[in-house]
Structure 1
Amino acid sequence: MMGEAIVHVNGVDLCTETFGDPDAPAILLIGGMGASMDWWDADFCRRLALGGRKVIRYDFRDTGRSTTWPPGAPGYTGDDLVADAVALADLLAAGRAHIVGISMGGAIAQHLAIDHPERVATLTLVSTSTGPDDDLPPIDERLEAAFADPAPEPDWSDPEAVVAHLVEDWRLFAGPDFFDQEYTREIARQVVARTIDIESSVKNHALVKGSGSARPRLREITAPTLVVHGGADPFFPPGHAVMLAREINRAQLLILDGVGHQPPPPSTWDVVVPAILGHTALSLPEAQ
């Protein structure tokens, strides 16, 4: 099942893509809210694969080529998204994977590590949190102002208008020194070209009932954990990463100076890829 494939799990079709040696230890990449697999750059996946890993990325429900619901009416919950990750670990990673989750995918990864520890060899949490809390820094004022006065919706039938909308949305979250407009536009074009219903993809995840905050249970995580976070993240400022590294037993923290709330930019790969490869060289005995 190397390359791109549609797999049927939990009553839905999910589009997956696999890189590297099929017999190598598996890394399962879990994306952010509304993000198809394309936002995990294929070259990033290949670099991880060259380090001796089988790398799996996939389209969530309502993104890319996976099963889609009408805009504004997602027919699933956050628990279903966790169950999908479990099913993919079973199907594509022989029941046990190194889990790497970003933003919403990081929240999914936390629940996966707590409720299904036998599936998680190691855990890497990127640009994520357990959610807002009184002792954690709030959203950056600039981003909060953008949420309060959002840009008009694009014409969803006009691909170039949607691409421009996605680019400007990603600009809000990226670190100013790590936003490459043409690079982002290229990925956005891939996303729009591959996505069954881009309006559903943009809107529906925000409407899904979540699995709740994992913070009260972070101490239950037994998988070796690496926390990777942008030092200029406007959505989850670095205090969120410090909290995760403090409250998860023996977690390690890697701060990327100047990076925002975004997948690791290419200019950081010389740091991030070796960090993930080194971390995923760790393993625990199978849970009893």
Structure 2
Amino acid sequence: MAETMVPVNGIELCVETFGEPTDPALLLIAGGASSMDWWEDEFCRRLAAGGRCVIRYDHRDTGRSTSFPAGCPPYSGVDLAHDALGVLDALGVHRAHLVGMAMGGALAQRIAVERPHRVRSLTLMSAVPGETPAHPAPAVTDWSHRRASVRRMIAAIRERGGPFTADEPHLRRLAERIYDRTTDMAASQANHHCLAHGPPVRPRLGSITAPTLVLHGTLDRVVPAADAHALAAEIPGARLVWLDGVGHEFPPMAVWAQVIDEISGEASRGRQPA
């Protein structure tokens, strides 16, 4: 399915799917201030080739989805979790495998705790136990200039990455695509940093019953290794798998085969009747 706009919780979200709609659904939940483009096209195609209907979407305030004034988001992290469920509802999906990166991992944990009947399996990348820690709002930046904004995005990715991070031409193409698809770059870069989390999730992680995989880069300088260990320890039966040479970043191409194999294996553990 090509990109399409779907009504969710009183707004519109941009959604795209890969694979056969009759296959078990796998929802990719991006990190904060990240559009669905960071789940790269070829990664999604390869993941779908394993017999999954892969769904990616733009969070509100990213990509083509509904945007609000920068610095004044009228929603919370709970609303972002409800958006993920709303995407599934819009596609007629009752239960799905959830794959969340960073803030997306926090949203996936909330769904697994509060709506366990919607979750087949859980994969958490570069995530902390429970809510993502609050970060200071980024400095006021003029995002109206395409070239400077693209350079800024590339520098941020390279700063958080590792030896397998894509080269600059690849990142430039990706950043240009993100810039051109985004309704309001200032809002996309600021608003997710302003959100209230809602009721705490971490005390309830022990109630999660879905098969759970924790993926964590050995060079992640944003989320400490201790958080990965804690996350795996607090969710019953969770497996912790290290991604050697990977930083705090969406999976770079060098580890796609490993990541896809691990996600597919976890999804197989989560096979249950629809």
Query: Does the 8 Å contact 1:7/1:13 carry over to 2?
Result: yes
Corresponding pairs, count: 273
1:215, distance to aligned residue in structure 2 (A): 1.8
- Structure 1 residues 270 and 184, CA gap change in structure 2 (3 angstroms): same
Q: Does 1:239 align with 2:226?
A: yes
1:260, distance to aligned residue in structure 2 (A): 0.6
1:282, distance to aligned residue in structure 2 (A): 2.1
Within-5 A mapping of 1:75-90? 75-90=74-89
Partner-residue secondary structure (3-state), 2:268: coil
Identity of aligned residues (%): 48
Query: Does the 8 Å contact 1:19/1:46 carry over to 2?
Result: yes
Which residue pairs with 1:158 in the alignment?
145
Which residue pairs with 1:256 in the alignment?
243
Which residue pairs with 2:113 in the alignment?
114
Which residue pairs with 1:18 in the alignment?
17
1:214, distance to aligned residue in structure 2 (A): 2.2
Structure 1 stretch displaced more, 21-30 or 277-286:
277-286
Q: Distance in 2 between matches of 1:196 and 1:169?
A: 20
1:277, distance to aligned residue in structure 2 (A): 1.1
Q: Does 1:61 align with 2:48?
A: no
Q: Does 1:32 align with 2:31?
A: yes
1:3, distance to aligned residue in structure 2 (A): 2.2
Which residue pairs with 1:141 in the alignment?
none
- Structure 1 residues 212 and 262, CA gap change in structure 2 (3 angstroms): farther
| TM-score (norm: length of structure 2) | 0.93
Partner-residue secondary structure (3-state), 1:124: strand
Q: Distance in 2 between matches of 1:277 and 1:77?
A: 31
Query: Does the 8 Å contact 2:96/2:120 carry over to 1?
Result: yes
1:172, distance to aligned residue in structure 2 (A): 2.0
1:210, distance to aligned residue in structure 2 (A): 1.2
Which residue pairs with 1:204 in the alignment?
191
1:79, distance to aligned residue in structure 2 (A): 0.9
Q: Distance in 2 between matches of 1:45 and 1:177?
A: 19
Structure 1 stretch displaced more, 196-205 or 84-93:
84-93
Q: Distance in 1 between matches of 2:114 and 2:259?
A: 27
Partner-residue secondary structure (3-state), 2:80: helix
Work out which of the residue numbers 268, 275, 280 in structure 1 matches 2:255: 268
Runs of 5+ consecutive residues of structure 1 not aligned to the other structure: 139-143
Tell me how large the CA RMSD over aligned residues is: 2.2
Runs of 5+ consecutive residues of structure 2 not aligned to the other structure: none
1:91, distance to aligned residue in structure 2 (A): 2.5
Query: Does the 8 Å contact 1:68/1:200 carry over to 2?
Result: yes
1:54, distance to aligned residue in structure 2 (A): 0.3
Partner-residue secondary structure (3-state), 1:280: helix
1:180, distance to aligned residue in structure 2 (A): 2.6
Q: Distance in 2 between matches of 1:48 and 1:268?
A: 13
Work out which of the residue numbers 261, 266, 272 in structure 2 matches 1:279: 266
Which residue pairs with 2:100 in the alignment?
101
1:87, distance to aligned residue in structure 2 (A): 1.4
Q: Distance in 2 between matches of 1:212 and 1:234?
A: 27
Which residue pairs with 1:126 in the alignment?
125
Query: Does the 8 Å contact 1:103/1:129 carry over to 2?
Result: yes
| TM-score (norm: length of structure 1) | 0.89
1:98, distance to aligned residue in structure 2 (A): 0.2
Query: Does the 8 Å contact 2:105/2:124 carry over to 1?
Result: yes
User: Counterpart of 1:123 in structure 2: which amino acid?
Assistant: L
- Structure 1 residues 48 and 93, CA gap change in structure 2 (3 angstroms): farther
Query: Does the 8 Å contact 1:122/1:280 carry over to 2?
Result: yes
Which residue pairs with 1:42 in the alignment?
41
1:285, distance to aligned residue in structure 2 (A): 4.6
Which residue pairs with 2:202 in the alignment?
215
User: Counterpart of 1:73 in structure 2: which amino acid?
Assistant: C
1:177, distance to aligned residue in structure 2 (A): 4.6
Q: Distance in 1 between matches of 2:229 and 2:171?
A: 28
Q: Distance in 1 between matches of 2:159 and 2:253?
A: 18
- Structure 1 residues 45 and 284, CA gap change in structure 2 (3 angstroms): closer
